[in-house]
Amino acid sequence: MRLFVSALLVLGLALAQSFQGSLRGRVLDPKGATTPAATITLIDEGTAVRRRTITNEQGEYTFAALTPSTYAVTVEAAGFRRI
């Protein structure tokens, strides 16, 4: 019985692990000021799937639940060139 309960606990811990990650960042202008409302585009280079988000008042953004892959990131903001 102990072995069965131990096996269930180990199985539960294994199932609880995730293979996903996240990407967080902050957009600053050349003078170091934050850039709110910038559009951040994340492109999965393996699948060409795109995700977009907008920076908050502090210029911060987050992409959650990312699968392991190679990504390209572009940033666009009014008055600045796209990078």
Which pLDDT does position 25 carry in this prediction? Answer: 95
Contacts of 53 (CB under 8 A, 6+ apart): 39, 40, 42, 61, 62, 63
Let me know: does 45 contact 70? Beta carbons within 8 Å. yes
Alpha carbon distance 62, 18 (integer Å): 18
Residue 4 has pLDDT above 50, yes or no: no
* Every domain of the chain and the residues it spans: 19-76
pLDDT tens digit sequence for 15-66: 555 688 999 999 999 999 999 999 999 999 999 999 999 999 999 999 999 9
Contacts of 54 (CB under 8 A, 6+ apart): 37, 38, 39, 40, 61
Average pLDDT for 79-83: 93
The H or E element that residue 49 is part of is none
The token duo for 70 is 């190679």
Read off the pTM: 0.76
